[in-house]
């Protein structure tokens, strides 16, 4: 497989606010880091740069840490503007991602990974300099449009695991059901478990 | 491709109640039928039986219609108990399913398609007589367990499109974003469109 770059944006301060009050601020930070680790372990075959909002340590010397002070889109677009090597942008809150997804993402143009609710959970760019990202709101449709305007072929990666970004307490159920890696272990260590509501599953803890 | 059977359970009376009051009873019925049609069009290469809760007409003479008076699980288990030919059970509310998913589902044992929230949106059985279904609640985990207890190899189909079952108004956004087929056309004909909430997308209409 060609060596590819991966960029993972990571927010430390005030991350995952919608998991409050189910998880405390300290637990949200721990859980965010556990999700990041799961994503990074699926990116073992790539050159990873973490684009963080502030300095932080992760006991893995292989990663490049870049601190950004701009908006996510600005920071990512600055990162890719002169880049011609195959590059992957991956959100840090999709802990169900696996190593084999990386191979599946490769294409000759742009690969978009839809998240639930119109988001984009990952983007593969064969030549990043030809693309421009525009996250937030219905970014999936915006990214399809940008690629088409630039004449780039678009592949849509149809993955449930990669579509599952963890924002709200009910999303934690997916982590427990499809248990895998550090995120699931961490939730279990807190005593978080599935709860059976009237029509849809949720989570509860002691 | 081997000829395979497909069974699609379909509920007419009181279907899709959670889409009320966003859609009227009549609209919910129309929309359920549009979703069924989208699923059926992805099953063009299979022998389809619709397992309905009551008689209804669909202008397609190729389908076998069976009316069931039992519970969903009982009816499905009765259907598969003496069946040895490759068979697919597909829910009728996953309109983003496509024709190529059928090929992807094939396996030597059991293929499970997780839905959001722990459900099972489709099951492929190489030899149905060896399996037993148990829908409702966290049926995905129950189906994994049943297959393992019976020594059947399990393949998990990682598909966002097939994981997307449409139950609540917010799910309609997925139909509009990944627009394809009759379900999307029907929603658009009602004037349903995406709306941009604070943090997640929804739908609105006149």
Q: For residue range B66-117, list pLDDT tens digits in order.
A: 998 899 999 999 999 999 999 999 999 999 999 999 999 999 999 999 999 9
Dihedral of alpha carbons A156, A159, A162, A164, sign: positive
**Given pLDDT bands bounded at 50, 70 and 90, which one contains residue B2?**
low
Give the pLDDT confidence of A138-180 residue by residue, as tens digits: 999 999 999 999 999 999 999 999 999 999 999 999 999 999 9
User: For the residues of B1-66, what is the DSSP string, one character each?
Assistant: ---EEEEEEE--TTTTGGGTTTS-HHHHHHHHHHHHHHHHHHTTTEEEEEEESS----S-TTSEEE
Which pLDDT value is given to residue A199? 67
Report the gap between the CA of A114 and the closest CA in chain B (Å).
8
Whole-angstrom Cα distance, residue B170 to residue B166?
Answer: 9
Q: Cα A185 vs. chain centroid, distance in angstroms?
A: 19
Report the gap between the CA of A177 and the closest CA in chain B (Å).
7
Report the gap between the CA of A64 and the closest CA in chain B (Å).
30
**Given pLDDT bands bounded at 50, 70 and 90, which one contains residue B60?**
low
The yes-or-no verdict on residue A46 having pLDDT over 80 is yes
Put simply, the answer to whether B160 touches A117 (Cβ < 8 Å) is no
Put simply, the answer to whether B161 touches A159 (Cβ < 8 Å) is no
Burial tier of A47 (Cβ tally within 10 Å: 0-12, 13-18, 19+): middle
Put simply, the answer to whether B170 touches A137 (Cβ < 8 Å) is no
Which pLDDT value is given to residue B198? 67
Q: Which residue has the higher pLDDT, A22 or B199?
A: A22
Which of A119, A158, A164 would best serve as a mutation to test chain B binding (most B beta carbons within 10 A)?
A: A158
Which pLDDT value is given to residue B125? 98
Q: What is the pTM of this model?
A: 0.96
Which pLDDT value is given to residue B139? 96
Whole-angstrom Cα distance, residue B164 to residue B175?
Answer: 9
Put simply, the answer to whether A196 touches B137 (Cβ < 8 Å) is yes
Which pLDDT value is given to residue B69? 87
Which of B116, B121, B174 would best serve as a mutation to test chain A binding (most A beta carbons within 10 A)?
A: B116
- Give chain A positions within 8 Å (CB) of B117: 170, 173-174, 200-201
Put simply, the answer to whether B138 touches A194 (Cβ < 8 Å) is yes
Report the gap between the CA of A55 and the closest CA in chain B (Å).
27
CA distances from B149 to A78, B130, B154 (A): 53, 11, 11
Which pLDDT value is given to residue B205? 85
Q: Which residue has the higher pLDDT, B61 or B4?
A: B4
Q: Cα B72 vs. chain centroid, distance in angstroms?
A: 13
The yes-or-no verdict on residue A113 having pLDDT over 70 is yes
**Given pLDDT bands bounded at 50, 70 and 90, which one contains residue B55?**
confident
Which pLDDT value is given to residue A120? 98
Dihedral of alpha carbons A14, A17, A21, A23, sign: negative
ipTM of the shown complex: 0.95
Report the gap between the CA of B2 and the closest CA in chain A (Å).
24
**Do residues A36 and A90 make contact, with C-beta atoms less than 8 angstroms apart?**
no
**Given pLDDT bands bounded at 50, 70 and 90, which one contains residue A121?**
very high
- Give chain A positions within 8 Å (CB) of B200: 117
Report yes or no: A14 at the B interface, CB cutoff 8 Å.
no
Which pLDDT value is given to residue B1? 54
What residue ranges define each of the domains in chain B, with the CATH number in brackets? 4-167 (3.90.550.10)
Which pLDDT value is given to residue B63? 81
Put simply, the answer to whether B173 touches A117 (Cβ < 8 Å) is yes
Which pLDDT value is given to residue B156? 98
Put simply, the answer to whether B173 touches A199 (Cβ < 8 Å) is no
Q: Which residues 98-157 on chain B approach chain A with CB closer than 8 angstroms?
A: 114, 116-118, 137-138, 140-141
Beta carbon pairs, A and B, within 8 Å: 61
The yes-or-no verdict on residue A1 having pLDDT over 60 is no
Give the pLDDT confidence of B159-201 residue by residue, as tens digits: 999 999 999 999 999 999 999 999 999 999 999 999 987 667 8
Q: What is the mean pLDDT of residues A95-102?
A: 97
Which pLDDT value is given to residue A198? 66
- Give chain A positions within 8 Å (CB) of B162: 160
Which pLDDT value is given to residue B175? 97
Put simply, the answer to whether B138 touches A163 (Cβ < 8 Å) is no
pLDDT mean across residues, chain B: 93
Q: What is the mean pLDDT of residues B136-164?
A: 97
Beta strands in B61-117 (DSSP E): 64-67, 87-90, 110-114
Whole-angstrom Cα distance, residue B112 to residue A65?
Answer: 39
Which of A93, A104, A115, A117 would best serve as a mutation to test chain B binding (most B beta carbons within 10 A)?
A: A117
Report the gap between the CA of B163 and the closest CA in chain A (Å).
6
């Amino acid at each position: 497989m060609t060596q590819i770059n991966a960029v993972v944006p990571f927010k430390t301060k005030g991350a995952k606010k919608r998991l409050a009050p189910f998880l405390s601020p300290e637990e949200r930070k721990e859980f965010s880091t556990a999700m990041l680790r799961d994503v990074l372990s699926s990116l073992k075959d790539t050159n990873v740069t973490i684009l963080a909002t502030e300095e932080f340590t992760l006991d893995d010397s292989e990663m490049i840490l870049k601190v950004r002070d701009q908006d996510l889109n600005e920071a990512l677009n600055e990162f890719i503007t002169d880049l011609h090597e195959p590059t992957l942008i991956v959100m840090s809150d999709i802990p169900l991602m696996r190593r084999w997804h990386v191979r599946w993402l490769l294409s000759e143009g742009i690969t978009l990974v839809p998240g639930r609710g119109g988001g984009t959970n990952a983007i593969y760019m064969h030549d990043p300099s030809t693309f421009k990202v525009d996250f937030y709101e219905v970014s999936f449709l915006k990214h399809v449009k940008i690629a088409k305007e630039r004449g780039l072929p678009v592949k849509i990666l149809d993955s449930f695991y990669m579509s599952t970004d963890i924002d709200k307490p009910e999303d934690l159920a997916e982590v427990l059901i499809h248990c895998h890696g550090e995120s699931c272990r961490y939730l279990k260590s807190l005593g978080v478990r599935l709860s059976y509501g009237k029509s849809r599953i949720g989570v509860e803890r002691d």
